[in-house]
Copies of this chain bind each other. A is one copy, B any other.
Amino acid sequence: MTFPLHLAISEKLRDRIRAGIYRPGDQLPSEHQLMAEFEVSRITARRAIANLTQQGLVNVQRGKGAFVSTQQKVVYSLSSPLLLEADLARQDIEITVQTLSFERVTAPVHVQKILNCAIAYLQKKVLLFNNVPSCVDITYIVPELAKAHGKELRQKLTFTTLEKYGICIQKIDAVIECTQADYETGEQLEVSLGHPLIVYRHTAFTEAGAIVHGESISRGDRFCYSIQIDRMIAPDL
């Protein structure tokens, strides 16, 4: 097991970032400078930089250079999903909805089972936070609601709209996981292939049953979820 050169270099650079020698926003040495300093080929220097970008520590700008990234994640509270907009306002974030498509489709089988209907409306939208594309949302909505509130659903957040018209969400089942961007999603979120993404896959229920199923795919470097679990249920197995 030999220790790769590119890794040795990226670890050294990472240490400098952690030590504050390179501070957030600073420009890293250029590829040429790294080649000189560490006496390596350009490919190896590039690989070292790639390691750092892969860890989210730096972001590179073509023609300009590589810069130490400044992290500051937006928090989405799951304990009060309806408050998202108010929540974000408190964090000084303006939210914009950009609907890419909204059409009647035959739902995929697993969605048919969840929503208990064969036809659904499929909405694809991008959420912009302070005009930065941060979240791709793909949602299946039962036809009744989609038809009744289509216009508003295109321009606002799903739950906000439903709530406004007195549709009361009783329960949400959700899974949070992470993936990495494929080319298409990368384009939409303005990130490169393989960029870490956080996925919130949810089903919303009224008393009558499931009405909405969708997934929100967000940039992992700008987004996180918070939860408060209040009372614990003792194990009874």
Q: Which residues of A come within 8 Å of B, CB atoms?
A: 7, 10-11, 14, 51, 54-56, 73, 75, 78-83, 86, 163, 168-183, 193-194, 196-198, 220, 223-235, 237
- The 8 Å CB contact of A176, one of B163, B172, B180, B227, is B227
Is B229's CB under 8 angstroms from A79's CB? yes
**Which residue of chain B is the closest to A184 with respect to CB atoms?**
B11
List of B residues within 8 angstroms of A172 by Cβ: 227-229, 232
List of B residues within 8 angstroms of A173 by Cβ: 226-228
- The 8 Å CB contact of A174, one of B73, B175, B182, B226, is B226
Cα distance A230–B229 in the bound complex, in angstroms: 12
List of B residues within 8 angstroms of A231 by Cβ: 170-171
Copies held by the complex: 2
Is B194's CB under 8 angstroms from A51's CB? yes
Listed A/B pairs (17) with beta-carbon separation below 8 Å: A7-B193, A11-B183, A51-B194, A55-B179, A55-B180, A55-B193, A170-B231, A171-B231, A172-B229, A173-B226, A173-B228, A175-B225, A178-B178, A178-B196, A178-B197, A178-B224, A196-B220
List of B residues within 8 angstroms of A163 by Cβ: 234-235
**Which residue of chain B is the closest to A197 with respect to CB atoms?**
B178
**Which residue of chain B is the closest to A228 with respect to CB atoms?**
B173
